[in-house]
């Protein structure tokens, strides 16, 4: 479907949604299951296009993966038993698949070539291939391995002591995967802590990884023991309905099974700062991934300032936070978010231009944006630009516009949230 008309009469949102599986954790569950020798099982997996790409990569490497909805069974010969892939490893639109696979493949015993779609071909890869080359990985690619296609000849790796120049869980995780295979102990130093799902899952698979004050230490050569992974819901998907319920008058929505890992809950902090009316009920506090339910009602909202170490904790939520800010009283300033420029699209430009078409008072800056609210938004033709989160931002915006939103390329939303419009309609009482 390349166009959709979103014509939503003004009505409160009501009901309960069980949030689909976390994208970051779903990728990692397949990756650890593919690296570990034996049988790994997964529940709550996100069958979004990005995570399905990761499954396809591991099938080409020789893992036997069966999927029944959100359940997976992974039987793997283990990284030392992988076959050389007979085709390129195609990662589609998925930055996480592309970057993490580079780290995994660097320490394998196979030769492989990685490539994705046209958005992936523009995204910077040197942030990963640079440190991997320091570990003596044999990696080649376009413009000195800055861009895909990239070829990796797996082999022995040296450990690294690496200070992260950007707050990026993808970079950190790629290095950690390589460090698992290095002959010695690696250290990674983060200035701002990024999502730590890789470290947590390493522990679940029986590895010893130390993490304190942004310093992660990992000894190479440890064995992985396959386990069951139960993936919590994705707070980055929940964020769209948190924002919707906060801003559509008279709404009350319950979001169940929301992943509440503290490295991901920046949106909750922002909702609090904006004066949203919500409660968080933590249902599972086990050490691996905390989860719970969030009940949220509409309320009057005020602008806020977002920057510094909060940014990595809500990086994917910024498009919908910007939309929320258009409905809040006062000014919202987002800074220190220059990473948005190198996401699936340049999300600073995309958010400012698309919300601007609806009449929002929003100005892009080099590292963020400034939004003055509240503004009445009017329907217009918007373009997702092939970016799932821009598409969902447009879908939620349509709930508060006067007149319909014509959304170009809504299909990309299936990258992370195939049930998005179904959930939206159920909350609208359709
Ligand atoms: C992700 C890390 C983040 C995030 C992306 C998923 C991950 O990217 O934006 O959606 O699963 O590690 P960066 O690490 O590039 O910030």
Q: Which domains does the chain have, with CATH numbers?
A: 3-21+232-427 (3.65.10.10), 23-214 (3.65.10.10)
Ligand 1 and 170: CB distance under 6 A: yes
Ligand 1 and 26: CB distance under 6 A: no
Q: What is the pLDDT of residue 288?
A: 87
- Choose the catalytic residue: 316, 383, 387, 409: 316
d(CA 30, CA 99): 15
CA of 170 to the centre of ligand 1 (A): 5
Residue nearest to atom 15 of ligand 1 (CA): 168
Ligand 1 and 24: CB distance under 6 A: yes
User: With a cut of 50, which residues of the chain have pLDDT below it?
Assistant: none
If one counts every other C-beta atom within 10 angstroms of the C-beta of residue 269, the result is 14
**Residue appearing with tokens 């069974």:** 73
CA of 294 to the centre of ligand 1 (A): 23
Does the annotation mark 286 as catalytic?
no
180-207 residue pLDDT tens: 999 999 999 999 999 999 999 999 999 9
Which pTM value belongs to this model?
Answer: 0.98
* Size of the chain, expressed as the number of residues it contains: 430
310-355 residue pLDDT tens: 999 999 999 999 999 999 999 999 999 999 999 999 999 999 999 9
CA of 36 to the centre of ligand 1 (A): 23
CB 214 within 8 A of CB 191: yes
d(CA 302, CA 325): 8
Q: What is the pLDDT of residue 430?
A: 87
CB 176 within 8 A of CB 216: yes
In 3D, which of 368, 386, 379 has the Cα closest to residue 319? 368
Q: What is the pLDDT of residue 189?
A: 98
- Which ligand 1 atom minimizes the distance to the CA of 168? 14
Average pLDDT, the chain: 97
Q: What is the pLDDT of residue 180?
A: 98
Q: What is the pLDDT of residue 1?
A: 64
């Amino acid at each position: 479907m390349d166009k959709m008309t979103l014509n939503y009469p003004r009505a409160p949102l009501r009901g309960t949604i069980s949030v689909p599986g976390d994208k970051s954790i779903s990728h990692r569950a397949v990756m650890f299951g593919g690296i570990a020798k034996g049988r790994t099982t997964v529940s709550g997996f996100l069958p979004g296009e990005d995570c399905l790409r990761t499954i396809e990569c591991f099938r080409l490497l020789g893992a036997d993966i069966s999927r029944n909805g959100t359940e997976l069974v992974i039987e793997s010969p283990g990284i030392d038993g992988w076959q050389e892939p007979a085709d390129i490893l195609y990662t589609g639109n998925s930055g996480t698949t592309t970057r993490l696979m580079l780290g995994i493949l660097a320490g394998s015993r196979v030769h492989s070539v990685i490539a994705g779609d046209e958005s992936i071909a523009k995204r910077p890869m040197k942030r990963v291939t640079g440190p991997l080359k320091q570990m003596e990985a044999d990696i080649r690619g376009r413009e000195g391995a800055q861009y895909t296609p990239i070829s990796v000849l797996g082999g022995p790796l040296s450990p690294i002591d690496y200070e992260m120049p950007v707050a990026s869980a993808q970079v950190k995780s790629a290095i950690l995967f390589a460090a698992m295979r290095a002959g010695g102990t690696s250290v990674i130093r983060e200035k701002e802590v990024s999502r730590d799902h890789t470290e947590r899952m390493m522990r679940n698979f029986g590895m010893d990884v130390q993490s304190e004050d942004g310093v992660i230490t990992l000894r190479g050569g440890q064995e992985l023991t396959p386990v069951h992974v139960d993936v919590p819901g994705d707070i980055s998907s929940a964020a769209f309905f948190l924002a919707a319920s906060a801003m559509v008058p008279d709404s009350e929505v319950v979001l169940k099974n929301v992943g509440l890992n503290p490295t991901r809950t920046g949106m909750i902090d922002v909702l609090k700062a904006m004066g949203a009316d919500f409660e968080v009920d933590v249902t599972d506090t086990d050490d691996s991934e905390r989860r719970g339910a969030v009940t949220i009602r509409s309320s009057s909202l005020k602008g806020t300032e977002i920057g510094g170490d909060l940014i990595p904790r809500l990086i994917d939520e910024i498009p919908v936070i910007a939309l929320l800010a258009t409905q809040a009283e006062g000014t919202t300033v987002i800074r220190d978010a220059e990473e948005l420029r190198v996401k699936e699209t340049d999300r600073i430009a995309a958010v400012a231009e698309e919300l601007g078409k609806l009449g929002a008072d929003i100005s892009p800056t080099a590292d963020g944006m400034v939004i003055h609210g509240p503004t009445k938004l009017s329907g217009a033709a918007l373009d997702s630009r092939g970016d799932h989160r821009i598409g969902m931002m447009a879908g939620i915006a349509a709930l508060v516009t006067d007149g319909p939103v014509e959304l170009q390329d809504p299909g990309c939303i299936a990258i992370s949230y195939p049930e998005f419009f179904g959930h939206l309609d159920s909350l609208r009482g359709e």
